Chains A and B, each alone.
Chain A
């Protein structure tokens, strides 16, 4: 087995998923100063939506590439709607409440989504097999073997990160978003429709989670109702390590976390059950050492 290539690819894949999740956290925090813990469970919702879309399209006898596209579209639409809904009905009404209430709220929204999938999705308690839609096989390079599907998914993931970055930095909507993030009052006087930008921002952030969820299903061929929780914890960690509110930091944090995990697995295969535990310990040490993250956190307090 070409282990180095395997580890590298695995780490890249995980890093891409973590980076996508962390990016969502950082977008929400940047714009609303909110930690949205339900983000990981929104990702799960996306993965299950993708699964249903694949089931439906394959039942209709559509070709594989249509199934593939349908999976992404269904996941992204549903997560965007769910994200916008959560922001409009649950987060906005609480935006002046103590931060603890907001944390609890999003935590409980996540639990609600998670439990709803477990209880109401057919056979939801058990892991669901996610159909393999990408070409099997791959190629060897030296002693390493590279899976085609992994390469495709990594490219897709990195491209989506690029697209989100482009939206935030190069479009009019992105400008409005950044204005609101900077100062709500000023943004208002500049004629930015606050009530529209916020749900759209949450839709954008959540849609990246839907995208990541679909990638997750395609790569690991299995999804379950609880997968979002761990991804949320990891994504949140990555966002903090990168400095909350900082997009590049979040992406770097995601790859860093995946790198640490992969390192643990590669160096100590017998300890691979503890890979998350180890990664967290390292991250906590890292935060203790550099409290504001590797790249600076956005200052949020005004005195």
Chain B
């Protein structure tokens, strides 16, 4: 029927003490789709991202990425196998330059050897120039003026530009799967629209990037996602196209909060 999923979780469960944050989740993410993850506050959306990116570990169940079991993989391993993410609260290193921040995303492609970094400075310089050009290009797609701020400290940027830099950091590593944790957080409606358009533009130019997006802003979800999964109390309560999901009575009840 369909090709095997890029990411599949089976019976994924996370417990914090007595709290069941994720309860036996089965979620499939198909190649090249944008999956929206929605649900009321505390329903486990961000926890799900944290488990698949290796920040938390699963209490039970399994996760597969491209067929390989990554349930117990370290964050480092996950990054190497093509996973990148942004964070709900901006996690840029503010005192560092935009370039230093973005370069972190390309870390696995760069030579971190002592000899290369301290002695072979010519080769290092060539590497730096190549990555700088890539970063500029990427930033340019988002915001042409941002490309000129490559060496400004991240702290000097506004909220929207910081978010753009975070997304660039996730994209420069050429990941298979990108996790976006509330890209609209801390931004106005117009800014959100802008960033969404940019994400869609980038996706088109990169061709078939797979994205999981956690979001409260339903307008955004409606515009960008191919499919949605609704969580409540750590359980999947509904799945499908946004329009169908939004009209589902179970989902409405969950959002109204009376259960």
Chains A, B in direct contact (C-beta < 8 Å): yes
Binding site for B on A (CB under 8 A): 299, 303
The smallest beta-carbon distance between B59 and chain A, in angstroms, is 15
Cα A303 to Cα B88 with chains together (Å): 8
Q: Which residue of A lies closest to B55 (CB)?
A: A303
Confirm or deny: B87 has a beta carbon within 8 angstroms of a beta carbon on chain A. yes
Chosen A-B contacts, 6 in total, with CB atoms closer than 8 Å, are A299-B16, A303-B46, A303-B50, A303-B55, A303-B87, A303-B88
* B contact residues, total (Cβ < 8 Å): 6
Cα A299 to Cα B57 with chains together (Å): 14
Per-residue CB contact flags for chain B residues 40-63 toward chain A (1 = under 8 Å, else 0) read 000000100010000100000000
Chain B hits for A303, CB < 8 A = 46, 50, 55, 87-88
Cα A303 to Cα B87 with chains together (Å): 7
Cα A299 to Cα B21 with chains together (Å): 15
Cα A299 to Cα B46 with chains together (Å): 17
The smallest beta-carbon distance between A36 and chain B, in angstroms, is 26
Q: Which residue of A lies closest to B16 (CB)?
A: A299
Chain A hits for B16, CB < 8 A = 299
Cα A299 to Cα B15 with chains together (Å): 14
Cα A299 to Cα B87 with chains together (Å): 19
Q: Which residue of A lies closest to B50 (CB)?
A: A303
> Which residues in window 228-251 of B have CB below 8 A to A?
none
Cα A299 to Cα B17 with chains together (Å): 11
The smallest beta-carbon distance between B190 and chain A, in angstroms, is 27
Cα A303 to Cα B46 with chains together (Å): 8
Q: Which residue of B lies closest to A302 (CB)?
A: B89
The smallest beta-carbon distance between B19 and chain A, in angstroms, is 12
Cα A303 to Cα B52 with chains together (Å): 13
Chain A hits for B50, CB < 8 A = 303
The smallest beta-carbon distance between A300 and chain B, in angstroms, is 13
The smallest beta-carbon distance between B214 and chain A, in angstroms, is 12
Cα A303 to Cα B50 with chains together (Å): 8
Q: Which residue of A lies closest to B95 (CB)?
A: A98
Cα A299 to Cα B88 with chains together (Å): 19
Q: Which residue of B lies closest to A296 (CB)?
A: B17
Cα A299 to Cα B50 with chains together (Å): 15
Cα A303 to Cα B51 with chains together (Å): 11
The smallest beta-carbon distance between A236 and chain B, in angstroms, is 26
The smallest beta-carbon distance between A249 and chain B, in angstroms, is 16
Cα A303 to Cα B86 with chains together (Å): 11
Cα A132 to Cα B202 with chains together (Å): 79
Cα A23 to Cα B55 with chains together (Å): 30
> Which residues in window 192-237 of B have CB below 8 A to A?
none
Cα A303 to Cα B181 with chains together (Å): 10
The smallest beta-carbon distance between A132 and chain B, in angstroms, is 49
Chain A hits for B55, CB < 8 A = 303
Cα A211 to Cα B255 with chains together (Å): 53
Cα A303 to Cα B16 with chains together (Å): 14
Cα A303 to Cα B89 with chains together (Å): 8
The smallest beta-carbon distance between B246 and chain A, in angstroms, is 28
The smallest beta-carbon distance between B191 and chain A, in angstroms, is 23
The smallest beta-carbon distance between B168 and chain A, in angstroms, is 20
The smallest beta-carbon distance between A297 and chain B, in angstroms, is 13
The smallest beta-carbon distance between B183 and chain A, in angstroms, is 16
Chain A hits for B87, CB < 8 A = 303
Cα A48 to Cα B123 with chains together (Å): 63
The smallest beta-carbon distance between A161 and chain B, in angstroms, is 26
Per-residue CB contact flags for chain B residues 8-22 toward chain A (1 = under 8 Å, else 0) read 000000001000000
The smallest beta-carbon distance between B78 and chain A, in angstroms, is 14
Cα A303 to Cα B14 with chains together (Å): 15
> Which residues in window 138-173 of B have CB below 8 A to A?
none
The smallest beta-carbon distance between A283 and chain B, in angstroms, is 27
> Which residues in window 66-109 of B have CB below 8 A to A?
87-88
The smallest beta-carbon distance between B113 and chain A, in angstroms, is 28
Cα A182 to Cα B46 with chains together (Å): 20
Chain A hits for B88, CB < 8 A = 303
Q: Which residue of A lies closest to B181 (CB)?
A: A303
The smallest beta-carbon distance between A301 and chain B, in angstroms, is 9
Cα A303 to Cα B55 with chains together (Å): 8
Q: Which residue of A lies closest to B56 (CB)?
A: A303
